[in-house]
Structure 1
Amino acid sequence: MATFDHLGITVDDVPSASTQFNPVFEALGYTRAHDGEDHAYWRRTDEPEILLYTAREKGTGPHVHGRVGWQHLAFAVDSRDEVDRIHDIAVAAGWSEVREPKDYPRFSDRYYASFVEDANGIRLEIMHNPPRTD
């Protein structure tokens, strides 16, 4: 049986990207396990590692949303307040607000999310979609 082990993300400059990613990942419960010039990574118990690597070719970014490749990575959190809190942390760390926290009834009547993007065009979704209670 295969399991999801880690996610590698290519960025133009690891130290700069690590500075942007770290507050968000810490707010999501990850701990930075390594922070270097050419790679950095975060761990969380029983979760896949998230790694940043330096691009092989400088100046090939940023990624453009909607092109072949990365779409976004969604993190499910426990409440709407957590969506708002982590969204604010990301924006304070220099992430661009793609979509402010709001309801997404086209996904479900309980779906609440925000979308942010870093300088490399990497998009994250912070979302809360509790199970139906009826």
Structure 2
Amino acid sequence: MRIEHTAIWVTDLERMKDFYETYFNGKANGLYHNEKKDFKSYFMTFDSGARLEIMKKGNVTDQPSQTMTGWAHIAFSVGSREKVDELTDRLKKDGFTVVNGPRITGDGYYESVIEDDEGNLVEITI
């Protein structure tokens, strides 16, 4: 058994598609649009085969919160400490908030955590 994909609600579908394409080498399928339900989505496929569905419904604009229950973050393994440092630096220079790191966590991971355009947490690790 394996996880087939995970999904995230977004407010700006195109901007979030561009984010995952630009920084994490995601490849998007064609836009799915269900006009009756006012629902749109893309499936983003990454080099490892993992998939992320980014979804938008109508005029929903709720923002994520670190005090809610549910999924906490998505993590991308980039292969080395140097790549963690490089991607974190690139994101910071491009105006994204670095929440913490790069650092070695209490459980031994080398990681950084950034916020995407909509405040969702993205962990970058070896």
Q: The TM-score by the shorter chain falls in which range? A: 0.7 to 0.9
> 1:46-103: per-residue Cα shift (whole Å, max 9, x none)?
522111100455222x100231112011222321011012223333454321113122
Aligned to 2:112: 114
Aligned positions, number: 120
Aligned to 1:50: 52
The answer to whether the Cα contact below 8 Å between 2:44 and 2:54 also exists between their aligned partners in 1 is no
Q: 1:45 to 1:120 in 2, by over 3 A?
A: closer
Q: 1:25 to 1:41 in 2, by over 3 A?
A: farther
The answer to whether the Cα contact below 8 Å between 2:17 and 2:28 also exists between their aligned partners in 1 is no
Match of residue 124, structure 1, among 118, 122, 125: 122
Q: Does 1:14 align with 2:16?
A: no
Q: Does 1:32 align with 2:60?
A: no
Q: 1:14 to 1:35 in 2, by over 3 A?
A: same
SS at match of 1:87: helix
RMSD: 2.3
Q: TM-score, normalized by length of structure 1?
A: 0.74
* Aligned mates of 2:123, 2:48 — CA distance in 1: 20
Aligned to 2:88: 87
Structure 1 stretches of 4+ moved >6 Å: none
Letter in 2 for 1:116: I
Runs of 5+ unmatched residues, structure 2 = 34-39
TM-superposed CA distance for 1:125, in Å, is 0.6
Q: 1:94 to 1:19 in 2, by over 3 A?
A: farther
Could you tell me the percent identity over the aligned residues? 22
Q: TM-score, normalized by length of structure 2?
A: 0.78
* Aligned mates of 1:9, 1:94 — CA distance in 2: 22
